[in-house]
Chain A
Amino acid sequence: MVNGYAGKFLEIDLTNQKVEEITFSKKILQDYIGGRGLGVKILWDRLGDKWETIDPLSPENILLMLTGPFTGYFLGARICVTGKSPQGNGIIGSTVAGEFGVELKCAGYDGIIFTGKAEKPSYVFICDDTIEIKDASHIWGKTSRESMRYLVKDSINDIKKIHPNYGEFKEPSVLYIGPAGENKSRVAAVEAKYSHAAGYGGYGGVMGSKNLKAVVVKGFGPLPDVVDQDKILELSQEFSNNCFNIEFFRRWGTGSGGYTFGADSSSEPVRNWQEEWHNEKSYRGEEFDKFWVKKYWGDYGCPVTCLKLAALRDGKYAGAICDNPDYELEAFLGTNLGIFSPEQNIYLSYLIEELGFCGIQGGAILGFAGELFQRGILSKEDLGGINLEWGNVDAFAELARKIAFREGIGDILAEGLYRAALKLEEMKKIDVLKYAIHLKGMAIGGHGLKSGKDMVTRTSIGYSVSVQAGDHTSSASLPIDEDGSELYSILSDSAVYCFFTTFNLVFDQIASFYQAVTGWELPKESWFSEKGLRILHLQRIVALLGGPDAVWRSKQDDTLPSRFWEPLPSGPYKGDSIDKNTFEKLKSEYYTAVGWNNDGVPTSEILQKLDLKDVELKLKKEHLL
């Protein structure tokens, strides 16, 4: 019996419609924790020896939905979605908040492993030990809301059959995809609760490739037993009080950033990153606030509730409802498209969620198309009649729809920045890759580096050497054991918790919570020089091994998009740029700190120290080492 874990995982073979319960040894759980860490371990063990040959959108890929030992007990529940990423061909740990992980654990499972591909559109229904793979043909092609409405309603009826005399029970939780995912877009998200998404990584497309529309789960049991409930309560109270005191963040969430990251820190993408500064007062937090119908919104156990519910009650876009665009969506579905109206931004965020895109990845591809239109590379005809001028929200909305359903140009753009750029280059015989602001196949989060003033990504190497490339929630920094480093992100994605609830907490506090749940110690030293590092290396290695259509090499790819090397063209920090020498120096310091050689490949020495000899052999076989 392990504490804090249900102790079993579901393995669902969609090809053969087979469901099995599996377990992992205590050692594996102790080393890889859960979520991202465990996901990396499962994927490496099962796919590692043929990693580079696997197409992430083929049935060979494995899709994982994994909780961690913090899910349900720690403030603000999340679940981690992962697999081989169709964006970068590596592994991205993509977490999404909500009750799904709690329901899953209450149903008796720590996670779900999906293999193969269902013959026809399907969804999986889980209610404790009842597990069914059900037909989803009638909701295939439907938007998020419509799909959810059906799934919740139908599943409630199914649960009633199992518990006819129970009385009312709470609705089940759902992870689902929209049309973008169904059509295997590489910028599609796995979504929850209308406006929550595991966006980075493109796992919505992976679900689509498996003909898996949704997973519905309801658990009637308690969360698994913990070692020291009193200690958990004591720590929860302490950590919660810490959150209650962060008044500003609770009040605004990240939603005041749409103005401040542009106006104050000059680090917000504007018109496909052509600028990073704007001073549009129309875009201030207060202007968004006017549309908020709920000022504090959150997920299971959250003391912060930094989300806000925005609704357009009247006007042209009446009926649009979403969680108030957080900073990233304010940027990628706003400023980066030349949109500076909260109303239009809310509408577009709502639409993007309805269609099933990741707001960042999906928004970035719209911005890319916008710039190609601006430069006359893509014409109105190319775009199927869309006049894609900056700020034209209806045009961007129409293009998003085309991408979701892969109509016309949408078929190319659905492939994400990198692949779409290659395709368009071929068609147009012009270098367009320079307008695709991506790293290793992934759009970069909305935190520019040139001004050096961004609060989130604090160093110029943040994205370049991250094992999750452009992911702003997993950026690298030095020293590697300092708060905010990528090893901290690996911890939060593996224990699975939200880092917005851990401001001001130090490692030892997290470790004591971990110990109160599991009874296991997690000394700082063991995380930063062993366990965390092992997960980091595995992620690095699969990124280097890549996939059939793209591989990344440190020399050309541990860098920044070419536009990031140009000076800021406007604003108070006009002329500021990233110093290439400092960047290179930091990069090599980082390589040394984590144990990579000059080519950015983990050394034999560190691999042996971390007990990753099979990895070493594989790297040698592929002539990477």
Chain B
Amino acid sequence: MEDINKLWIKRIYEKCSGCRRCEIACSLYHEGKIWPEASRIRVFMFVPGVEIPHLCFQCNDYPCVEACPEEALSVDDHTGAVITDKSKCTACGTCINACPGRVPHLHPQDDYIVICDLCGGKPKCVVSCQEGKWDTLILLEGQDIETEKVSAETPKQLAHETARKILGEKATEEVYEW
């Protein structure tokens, strides 16, 4: 099956150090400069200590692609990443609302949507995370994806869940109530 070669990035949120070196790598690769908001992976920190690296989850049914009225989004055959056709995207934001994880966001300067494109198959963010031995981001291929893949969630949902895991129930109440 063609699925075998597809890629998926696993994230273990509890391990994230908050170094944001993934953001730096991603924005340098895609924008040629360090640009936290233009990164396709963004580390959300609603609660210090609970850092959530957030990027596309490559949903099995790709609701964003389905929803796009301009056919600006497509799925890469080799990687399974969502690819944005800048020239077609009108920045209407339909995909943002269609995405269960609210992953897509506008480019901070120009009028089009940015979504992780898996760097064409060699994810830079994973390299950054691995070289520092944080092991928060792990690149999966083939069969492993099937067992490990999870569905999309918003940064806030993930922050809630992760806060509970890291800090425990009692601590969670105190630091996190919205």
Chain A residues numbered 229-246 whose CB sits less than 8 Å from any CB in chain B = 229, 233, 240, 244
CB-CB < 8 A to B102: which residues of A? 167-168
- Which of A171, A219, A321, A323 sits near B167, CB closer than 8 Å? A321
- The answer to whether the Cβ of B62 comes within 8 Å of any Cβ in the partner chain is no
Residue numbers in A under 8 Å from B36 (CB-CB): 99, 102-103, 106, 170, 219
Choose, from A88-96, A303-311, A443-451, A474-482, the stretch at the interface. A303-311
Interface residue ranges of A310-359 to B (CB < 8 Å): 311-314, 318-321, 323
Give the residue name and chain of the A residue nearest to B176 (CB).
A149
Q: List 21 A-B contacts (CB under 8 A).
A: A102-B36, A153-B178, A166-B105, A167-B102, A168-B105, A170-B37, A193-B45, A194-B48, A195-B48, A221-B35, A222-B35, A223-B35, A229-B28, A240-B131, A300-B20, A301-B24, A302-B17, A305-B19, A313-B170, A321-B174, A321-B175
Q: Which of B33, B93, B177 contacts A167 (CB 8 A)?
A: B93
In angstroms, Cα B51 to Cα A305, docked, is 13
Interface string of B8-44 (1 = CB under 8 A from A): 0000001101111100100110011111111000111
Contacts of B113 in A (CB 8 A): 167
Most buried by A among B103, B109, B171: B171
Distance between Cα atoms of A302 and B108 in the complex (Å): 24
Residue of A nearest to B108 (CB): A220
CB B137 to nearest CB in A, in angstroms, measures 14
Task: Kindly name the residue among A167, A229, A313 whose own CB sees the greatest number of chain B CB atoms within 10 A.
Answer: A167
A301 touches which one: B14, B19, B154 (CB < 8 A)?
Answer: B19
A18 contacts chain B at the CB level, 8 A cutoff = no
Q: Which of A290-298, A542-550, A558-566 contacts B (4 or more CB under 8 A)?
A: A290-298
Task: Using CB atoms, name the residue of chain B closest to A299.
Answer: B18
Complex Cα spacing A163 to B37, Å: 13
A79 to chain B, nearest CB (A): 15
In the complex the two chains form, is A305's CB within 8 Å of B17's CB? yes
B78-115 vs A, Cβ < 8 Å mask (1 yes, 0 no): 00000000000001010010000011111011000100
Task: Assess whether A248 is interfacial by the CB under 8 Å rule.
Answer: no
A221 to B34, CA, bound (A): 9
When A167-B102, A168-B105 are in contact, do A303 and B19 touch as well, CB less than 8 Å?
yes
Looking at the assembled complex, report how far the CB atom of A97 sits from the nearest CB atom of chain B, in whole angstroms: 11
CA distance A163 to B28 in the complex (A): 24
CB of B154 within 8 A of CB of A168, answer: yes
Contact residues, B127-159 vs A (CB, 8 A) = 131-134, 154-155
Cβ contact within 8 Å between B167 and A311: yes
Instruction: State the CA gap A229–B33 with chains docked (Å).
Output: 8
Which A residues from 592 to 615 make CB contacts under 8 A with B?
A: none
Residues in B with CB closer than 8 Å to A170 are 36-37, 42-45
Residues of A within 8 A of B (CB): 72-73, 99, 102-103, 106, 145, 149, 152-153, 163, 165-171, 193-195, 219-223, 225, 229, 233, 240, 244, 293-294, 296-303, 305, 309, 311-314, 318-321, 323
Given contacts A167-B96, A168-B154, A171-B44, are A298 and B34 in contact (CB under 8 A)? no
| Extra 12 A-B pairs, beta carbons < 8 Å, given A99-B45, A299-B20 | A165-B93, A168-B155, A170-B42, A229-B28, A293-B166, A294-B15, A296-B15, A298-B17, A301-B20, A303-B132, A311-B166, A311-B168
**Residue among B18, B37, B103, B171 making CB contact with A321, cutoff 8 Å:** B171
Which of the residues A73, A233, A309, A319 comes within 8 Å of B49, measured between beta carbons?
A: A309
The interface residues of chain B lying within 8 Å CB-to-CB of A299 are 18-20
* Interface, chain B (partner A; CB < 8 A): 14-15, 17-21, 24, 27-28, 31-38, 42-46, 48-49, 54, 91, 93, 96, 102-106, 108-109, 113, 131-134, 154-155, 166-168, 170-171, 173-175, 177-178
Q: A207 CB to closest chain B CB, in angstroms? A: 19
Q: How close is A571's CB to chain B, nearest CB, in angstroms? A: 36
| Chain B residues with CB below 8 A from A145, complex form | 174-175
When the two chains form their complex, are residues A309 and B174 in contact, meaning their CB atoms are under 8 A apart?
A: no
Residues of A within 8 A of B166 (CB): 293-294, 309, 311
Assembly CA distance A46 to B133 (angstroms): 48
Establish whether residues A222 and B134, one from each chain, have CB atoms under 8 Å apart when the complex forms.
no
Q: Which residue of B lies closest to A243 (CB)?
A: B132
Cβ of A300 to closest chain B Cβ, rounded Å: 5
A399 and B94 alpha carbons, distance in the complex (Å): 55
B106 to A165, Cβ gap below 8 A? Answer: yes
B2 vs chain A, min Cβ distance (A): 30
B18 touches A72 (CB 8 A): no
Cβ of B174: which chain A residues have Cβ within 8 Å of it? 145, 319, 321
Q: How far is the CA of A166 from the CA of B18 in the complex (A)?
A: 23
- Are A225's CB and B171's CB within 8 A? no
List the B side residues contacting A169 at CB < 8 Å.
Answer: 37, 105
Cα separation A103 to B34 with both chains bound (whole Å) = 11
Q: Tell me which residues across on chain B come within 8 A of A195, comparing CB atoms.
A: 48
Contact in complex: A222, B33 (CB < 8 Å): yes
**A99 CA to B23 CA in the complex, in Å?**
12
A331 to chain B, nearest CB (A): 23
A311 contacts B171, CB within 8 Å?
A: yes
Nearest first, the 3 closest Cβ-Cβ pairs linking A and B are A167-B105, A222-B35, A313-B168
Most interface-central of A169, A195, A314, A323 (chain B CB within 10 A): A169
Residues from chain A with a CB closer than 8 A to the CB of B93 are: 165, 167
Closest to B35 in A: A222
Chain A residues positioned under 8 Å from B54 (CB to CB):
168
Pick from B27, B48, B178: contact of A193, CB under 8 Å: B48
A139 CB to closest chain B CB (Å) equals 15
Most buried by B among A73, A149, A195: A149
Residues from chain A with Cβ under 8 Å of B46 in the complex: 152, 171
Cβ contacts under 8 Å, A168 to chain B: 44, 54, 96, 102-103, 105, 154-155
A320: chain B residues at CB < 8 Å are 171
Residue ID in chain A nearest B96 by CB atoms: A167
Q: Which residues of B contact A153 (CB under 8 A)?
A: 178
With the chains together, A299 CA to B17 CA distance in Å? Answer: 8
A319 to B168: give the CA distance in the assembly, Å: 8
Report how far A73 CA is from B109 CA in the complex, Å.
20
Nearest chain A CB to B111's CB is how many angstroms away? 10
Q: Is the CB of B134 within 8 A of A106?
A: no
CB of A302 within 8 A of CB of B19, answer: yes
Residues of A within 8 A of B20 (CB): 99, 299-301
**Which of A149, A171, A223, A240 contacts B45 (CB under 8 A)?**
A171
Are B177 and A149 in contact, with the CB atoms below 8 A?
yes
Which A residues are in CB contact (< 8 Å) with B173? 319
User: Which residues of the other chain, A, contact B155 by a CB distance below 8 angstroms?
Assistant: 168
In the assembled complex, the Cα of A249 lies from the Cα of B26 at a distance in Å of 27
Residue of B with least CB distance to A241: B131
Task: With both chains docked as a complex, state the minimum distance between the C-beta of B59 and any C-beta of chain A, in angstroms.
Answer: 16
In the complex, what residues of B have CB within 8 A of residue A298's CB? Answer: 17-19
Which residues of A are found within 8 Å of B48, using beta-carbon distances? 193-195
Among B28, B133, B171, contact of A318 (Cβ-Cβ < 8 Å): B171
Query: Are B33 and A321 neighbours in the complex by a CB distance under 8 Å?
Result: no
Q: Cβ of B44: which chain A residues have Cβ within 8 Å of it? A: 168, 170-171
Chain B nearest CB, measured from A69 CB (Å): 13
Using CB atoms, name the residue of chain A closest to B93.
A165
- A222 near B31 with CB under 8 A, answer yes
Chain A contacts of B14 at CB under 8 A?
Answer: 294
Give the complex CA separation of A330 and B60 in angstroms. 49
